């Protein structure tokens, strides 16, 4: 039994309801064996499917599942057999997503995606096709070997050894990571896993993984390891984080657009005061130095003094 990934689960969810409908009633044991998962995993899938509903064409079209007593039955699933009707914008979005999927490492061997794209383009009409072609889809191929290694480690249940670039400290770090999943948040790809160096769950940006190696060691994820809830955003402050206050000039307002801010207050004449949370004081100092005359660190006072000292030391070198 290999570890399941989000892609595995999506494929299973898409196939599970038609599988049961075609057989009227299926035991949990039989379905779990057919899909190559444990009964616990299958029940978790069924719990998720129980929440699914289709809003169109009816105002409320739930899929009614029953799996008490060890047998799975599906009712109110007539919507599954209805032909799918996509609007031009929906078809265009689906085409863009499929083209991106086709660019990912490992997808080239399977021409099913290519066939689906061709059929969808033919069925969607000229408007959707033109809209989809106006979006350039390009996957950074430099991440291909990294992503492939992570996928292999997830599939085989192996530990990874990373050389990882930490931008806040401008240094490469070595660490062993037990991979948990790959996710995309706000347009960036991340590996989430149990970091043996930090002894905690950490996120690693794929484009900052300098080197990756699959170790001949089985991954061991502690029971207390929990996947991060990223629905509210990737970076979520804690009570122990530093509260950094920066006053920005009009040319420094990019900080509010680039980093998640706790608050932003207009000061007039295009100036902006922002509050950011971080656990790393070095990152605050580096950001303030990078801003130069585009902004000023107001608080905390000890870090503001540190910024002044480092700026004065740097200027002294020019003398």
In a domain? residue 123: yes
CA angle, corner 92, sides to 90 and 94, nearest 5?
A: 70
Token pair listed for 238:
């804690």
Instruction: Give CA separation, 149 vs 172, 173, 189, 209, in Å.
Output: 19, 19, 14, 12
Structural domain total, the chain: 4
User: Residue 194 and residue 202: Cα distance in Å, rounded?
Assistant: 6
Token pair listed for 90:
């929906």
In a domain? residue 235: no
In a domain? residue 231: no
CATH number at residue 39: 1.10.10
Stretch among 68-82, 87-101, 135-149 having the lowest mean pLDDT: 135-149
Q: What is the DSSP string of 275-304?
A: EEEES-HHHHHHHHHHHGGGEEEEESHHHH
Instruction: Give CA separation, 144 vs 104, 138, 154, 206, in Å.
Output: 7, 12, 15, 10
User: Residue 303 and residue 283: Cα distance in Å, rounded?
Assistant: 11
Same domain membership, residue 291 and residue 248: yes
Same domain membership, residue 99 and residue 121: yes
The pLDDT score that the predictor gives to residue 312 is 93
Same domain membership, residue 95 and residue 77: no
In a domain? residue 281: yes
Residue 70 belongs to what domain range?
6-81
211, 145 in Cβ contact below 8 A? Answer: no
Confidence label for 1 from pLDDT (cuts 50, 70 and 90): very low
pLDDT > 90 fraction of the chain, expressed in percent and rounded: 27
User: Residue 225 and residue 44: Cα distance in Å, rounded?
Assistant: 18
Q: Which residue has the tokens 């109110």?
A: 76
**Contacts for 122-127: CB closer than 8 Å, 24+ residues apart:** 123/91, 124/86, 124/88, 124/91, 124/92, 124/95, 125/88, 125/91, 127/88
User: Residue 227 and residue 5: Cα distance in Å, rounded?
Assistant: 13
User: Residue 150 and residue 189: Cα distance in Å, rounded?
Assistant: 12
CATH number at residue 149: 2.30.30
Q: Which residue has the tokens 């069924």?
A: 46
In a domain? residue 66: yes
The pLDDT score that the predictor gives to residue 307 is 93
In a domain? residue 265: yes
Taking the C-alpha atoms of 143, 147, 150 and 156 in order, what is their torsion angle to the nearest 10 degrees? -140
Same domain membership, residue 283 and residue 254: yes
In a domain? residue 275: yes
Confidence label for 76 from pLDDT (cuts 50, 70 and 90): low
Same domain membership, residue 146 and residue 121: no
pLDDT in tens, 196-248: 998 988 889 888 899 999 999 999 999 888 887 776 566 666 677 889 999 99
pLDDT in tens, 46-65: 887 766 655 555 545 556 77
Mean pLDDT of the chain: 79
Token pair listed for 120:
């969808």
Same domain membership, residue 287 and residue 252: yes
- Evaluate if pTM is beyond 0.75: no
In a domain? residue 192: yes
Token pair listed for 113:
């995606």
Same domain membership, residue 57 and residue 72: yes
Q: Which residue has the tokens 């002294």?
A: 316
């Amino acid at each position: 039994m290999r570890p399941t990934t989000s892609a595995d689960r999506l494929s299973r969810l898409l196939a599970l309801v038609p599988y049961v409908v075609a057989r009227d009633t299926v035991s949990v044991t039989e379905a779990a064996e057919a899909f190559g998962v444990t009964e616990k995993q299958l029940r978790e899938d069924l719990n998720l499917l129980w929440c699914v509903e289709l809003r169109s064409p009816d105002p409320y079209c739930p899929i009614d599942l029953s799996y008490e007593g060890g047998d799975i039955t599906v009712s109110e699933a007539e919507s599954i057999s209805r032909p799918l009707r996509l609007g031009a914008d929906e078809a265009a979005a689906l085409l863009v997503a499929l083209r991106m999927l086709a660019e990912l490492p490992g997808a080239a061997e399977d021409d099913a995606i290519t066939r689906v794209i061709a059929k969808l383009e033919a069925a969607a009409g000229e408007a959707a096709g033109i809209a989809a072609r106006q979006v350039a889809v390009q996957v950074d191929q430099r991440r291909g070997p990294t992503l492939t290694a992570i996928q292999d480690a997830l599939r085989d249940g192996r530990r990874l050894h990373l050389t990882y670039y930490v931008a806040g400290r401008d240094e490469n770090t070595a660490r062993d990571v037990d991979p948990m999943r790959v996710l995309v948040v706000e347009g960036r790809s991340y590996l989430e896993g149990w970091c043996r160096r930090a002894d905690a769950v950490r996120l690693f940006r794929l484009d900052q993984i300098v080197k990756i190696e699959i170790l001949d060691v089985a991954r061991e994820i502690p029971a207390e390891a929990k996947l991060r809830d990223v629905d509210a955003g990737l970076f979520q402050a804690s009570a122990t984080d530093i509260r950094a206050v920066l006053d920005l000039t009009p040319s420094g307002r990019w900080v509010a657009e680039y980093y998640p801010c706790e608050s932003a207050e207009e000061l007039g004449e295009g100036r902006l005061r922002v509050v950011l949370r971080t656990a790393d004081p070095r990152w605050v100092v580096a950001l303030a130095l990078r801003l130069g005359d585009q902004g000023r660190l107001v608080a905390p006072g000890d870090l503001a003094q540190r910024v002044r000292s480092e700026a004065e030391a740097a200027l002294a070198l020019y003398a």
